[in-house]
Amino acid sequence: MSYTHIAPSELVAKLGSLAEDEWIVDVREPHEWDYYHLDEAILMPMNSIPGRLDELPRDKTLYIICAHGVRSEMVSRYLDESGYDRVVNVTGGMAAVAALLGFEYD
């Protein structure tokens, strides 16, 4: 395993100052995204990843996030096995990030 992990607090600290070569990829489903999401993220549901690899640059750091960290772990492993070497799984997922940011729920 050559991908790494980042704590939700570390990702939150990066928000607003992401470098040009850093992307946040949200692998949840559209209805989860609609509930709450990070403005800096791009939505790419987990099951769409294999058919959309050409949209993910290999020369950027990809922070992979899902709801709780399970799907993002699987996607991180898949990207690692597909030759991406700058993959970072966000542990705890959007639930942990949202709790840190104090997102309001409807």
Classified as helix, coil or strand, 32 is helix
Active-site residue list? 66
Distance CA 72, CA 82 (A): 15
Helix, strand, or coil here: 59?
Answer: coil
Distance CA 55, CA 30 (A): 18
Q: Residue 64: CB partners within 8 Å, gap ≥ 6?
A: 25, 27, 72, 75, 76, 79, 87, 88, 89, 90
